[in-house]
Structure 1
Amino acid sequence: MITTLPAEWDAQSALMLTWPHPDTDWHDQLEAVEAVYVELVRALCRYQPALILCPDAAWQARVAGRLSEAGVPASRLIFAPVPSNDTWARDHGPIAVLQSPGPNAQGEPCLMDFRFNGWGGKFASELDDAITARLCEQGVFGDSPWQRSELVLEGGAIDSDGAGSLLLVRRTLIDPARNPGWSQDEIERELRLRLGIRHFLWLEQGQLSGDDTDGHIDTLARFVDRRTIAHVTCEDATDPDHGPIQAMIAELRALRDPDGQPYRLLPLPQPRPLFAADGQRLPAGYANFALINGALLLPVYQDPADAEATRLLQEAFPGRQVHAIDCRALVAQGGSLHCACMQLPAGLTLRAPQA
């Protein structure tokens, strides 16, 4: 059986979101963050369906009403009742692969359910860790098979080129708070088995201030195509992020693709620092974009650099429409747009669970 982890630019069946609710850290910021989710879903549903997780039927009805008022067609929405600790679907959602009996056969989706422990035990996670299993047991993914892995792996920690190469930061997997007792060889063996990875691109450096994930790759560097990597920058030598980011860029320059060739690099601008009410700097950046069928959803921050980031990514993805989403409210809890969603590949059957 050949296993492939699709690239995010490959065809999708839907995008999964876990809607904010009063039992999450958003309880005192719900109005602001829900406005971001509404705008995100409104842009998304022009291109493909949304799978939206809500804690119960009452909250689902409320969310459905808000989206209807925003003009989102109900036919594009699939709801599932699933309790959650938080809303970061990228990290607690399923990681879907395609499995085929041979190189020329069409791949069939299979859902990988890796463990999630709140980014190394920083936050409560028992409900989030159960989300993929609950969805599969409810029949939300039809008859597609699923597998449980004991490896702690957050979706934001990896980025795939769709051809067996994986970009990732070492400390977000080889971490005694996440995977005690797992060596790099053992982690690579598990990722080969579950995701079909053949070429590992490990980074040591890179970190945005205010990031709780210990340096998720989706905040730092992303494949644009199989030969190109977009990445954050920091030109101000007095900025505390300058050293780690410059060191990461040096590592990116040294990476080689499976043919031994260096990657083309696409530097993205840096927005001005954003701060939470308590003075904590927030991890705002443009690498946290999300790809959907025919479009790119870009987090923006009402910053002069927004326009340049939009221009660069529109040039990088000429066949897609860039939709800018104001994510200032979303980044207030330490994540941005890509962190809030998880793509599901084409070929996956999605069904609302039976009442």
Structure 2
Amino acid sequence: MTSTTALRLPAEWEAQSAVLLAWPHADTDWAERLADVETTYTALITAITRFETAIVCVADATVRARAENLLREAGADAARLRFIEIEYDDTWLRDSGPITLFDGKHYQLTDFRFTGWGGKFEAGRDDRLVQGLIARGLFVPAAHRRIDWALEGGGIESDGAGTILTTWKCLSQRHPQLSRAQMARALTDGLEARRILWLDRGYLEGDDTDAHIDTLARFAPDDAIVYQGCDDPDDVHYAELNAMAEELAALRTADGKPYRLHALPWAKPIRDDGRRLAASYANYLIVNGAVLIPGYGDPADAEAARVIAAAHPGRTIVQIPCRPLIWQNGSLHCVTMQLPKGVVA
């Protein structure tokens, strides 16, 4: 049983107030293919508003007008759309948005330092995003805990009951001076977690996050894990992802039982100017009553939908075209951050 008197990081399948996103514009890295990626954002936000509110960060009034026009044409539910004007460097809200803890009555907006994935990109405005959203009155009264320690939301998975799943590759890149024990203490303190499960194997070509867990393996209800498999022995990922699958099979729940594992199919290589893109089906978003899943125009799309539906029974499955997103090395989950029920003002 999960205590209602201690802060915890809810599982993504728990009730939500809204999903937070940031609209791409000409001053972000999307500029070269802005129209293409806007088709994905339009489809994604329209799908979100079928089930709950979408809160869309926009850089200015011009960007807002553009987003509103495209979403209106697509049939998004205007009653479930909310716009907030705020500065941001890029649109990966999974990594720069708030990690919200909850104890049954009170909320804590946990605000880790965002470094642009270990200093790869400029991130000063993104690192101030949570404070800016608080200042604009987005949230109910909640504690704001700023933690001067680099961590991205895409780097952690929570089962809602105190267990965090993450990858050693990512966290050790951010904090090479720390031991695994020191890293675990930082995570348990910052996330009010009870235990940390580590994966040492698993990666995707084209992923510049250093193996974020949300591209590889995801918790699902009733002690299940959905993970990205690879069944092509000629693919460069085959050995690594199968080694990751063995690690997952060896993990145990807090009660000492093995997890129920759901392997996702493997899409054929997608390349752009010779560069392999990270087409992960694990990068899906759970919303109230549904799961929004990446589609890559690949024959494996249908099987991915079947696997995710089996892991999340009773939810509507909606596929979102995500080829434009993976051009910038992330997919559907990376550009969104769910906000738990009750935290939005």
Say which is worse superposed, 70-79 or 338-347, in terms of deviation: 70-79
- Three-state SS of the structure 1 residue aligned to 2:148 is strand
Question: 1:171 corresponds to which residue?
Answer: 169
1:314 aligns with 2:309: yes
Q: Which residue of 1 aligns with 2:259?
A: 263
| Matching residue within 172, 194, 197 for 1:198 | 194
For 1:122-141, what aligned pairs fall within 5 Å after superposition? Answer: 122-141=120-139
Q: List per-residue Cα deviations over 1:252-292 (Å, max 9, x = no partner).
A: 1111111111111111100111011x211000021111000
Q: For 2:242, which of 230, 236, 246 is the aligned residue?
A: 246
Give the alignment's TM-score, normalised by structure 1: 0.93
| Matched residue type, 1:125 | A
Contact 1:111 1:146 in 2 (8 A): yes
Cα distance in structure 1, aligned partners of 2:307 and 2:23: 30
Deviation per CA, 1:7-57: give whole Å up to 9, x if none.
000000000001111111110111110010010011110110011111112
Q: Is the 8 A contact 2:292 2:317 kept in 1?
A: yes
Partner of 1:160: 158
- Give the gaps of 5 or more residues in structure 2: none
State the secondary structure of the residue aligned to 1:52.
strand
Partner of 2:208: 212
Counterparts of residues 255-294 of structure 1 (less than 5 Å): 255-276=251-272, 278-294=273-289
Of 86, 89, 96, the match for 1:92? 96
Amino acid corresponding to residue 266 of structure 1 in structure 2: H
Separation in 2, partners of 1:202, 1:32: 36
**1:212-265 deviation per Cα after TM superposition (whole angstroms, max 9, x unaligned):** 011111000011124111111112222111121111111111111111111111
Shift of 1:185: 3.0
C-alpha contact 1:108 1:347 (8 A) present in aligned 2: no
The 8 Å contact of residues 119 and 213 in structure 1, kept in 2 or not, is answered as yes
Alignment partner of 1:341 is 2:345: no
Which SS does the other structure have where 2:193 is aligned? coil
User: Residues 180 and 206 from structure 1, CA distance in 2 versus in 1: closer, same or farther, beyond 3 angstroms?
Assistant: closer
Matched, 1:109 2:113: no
Q: Does 1:298 align with 2:293?
A: yes
Match of residue 189, structure 1, among 165, 185, 192: 185
Q: 2: distance between equivalents of 1:140 and 1:316? A: 32
Report the Cα offset of residue 74 of structure 1: 2.2
Q: In 2, Cα distance between the equivalents of 1:145 and 1:80?
A: 21
Structure 1 residue 156, shift from structure 2 partner: 0.5
Are 1:331 and 2:335 matched, yes or no?
Answer: no
Partner in structure 2 of residue 102 of structure 1: none
The 1-side partners of 2:187 and 2:337 are apart by 18
How far apart, in 2, do the equivalents of 1:334 and 1:107 lie? 37
2:85 paired residue among 77, 81, 84: 81
Q: Percent identity?
A: 47
What CA distance in whole angstroms lies between the structure 1 residues aligned with 2:207 and 2:126?
19
2:37 counterpart of 1:33:
yes
Give the corresponding residue for 1:103: none
1:180 to partner: Cα distance: 5.2
> Once superposed, what is the RMSD of the aligned Cα atoms?
1.3
- Aligned residues of 2:18 and 2:344 also touching (Cα < 8 A): no
The answer to whether the 8 A contact 1:96-1:344 is kept is: yes
Deviation at 1:160, TM superposition (A): 0.6
Contact 1:98-1:109 at 8 Å conserved across structures: yes
| Residue equivalent to 2:24 | 20
Partner AA of 1:202 in structure 2: W
- Identify the residue that residue 227 of structure 1 maps to in structure 2: 223
User: The residue matched to 2:44 in structure 1 has which SS?
Assistant: helix
TM-score of the aligned structures, taking structure 2 as reference length? 0.96
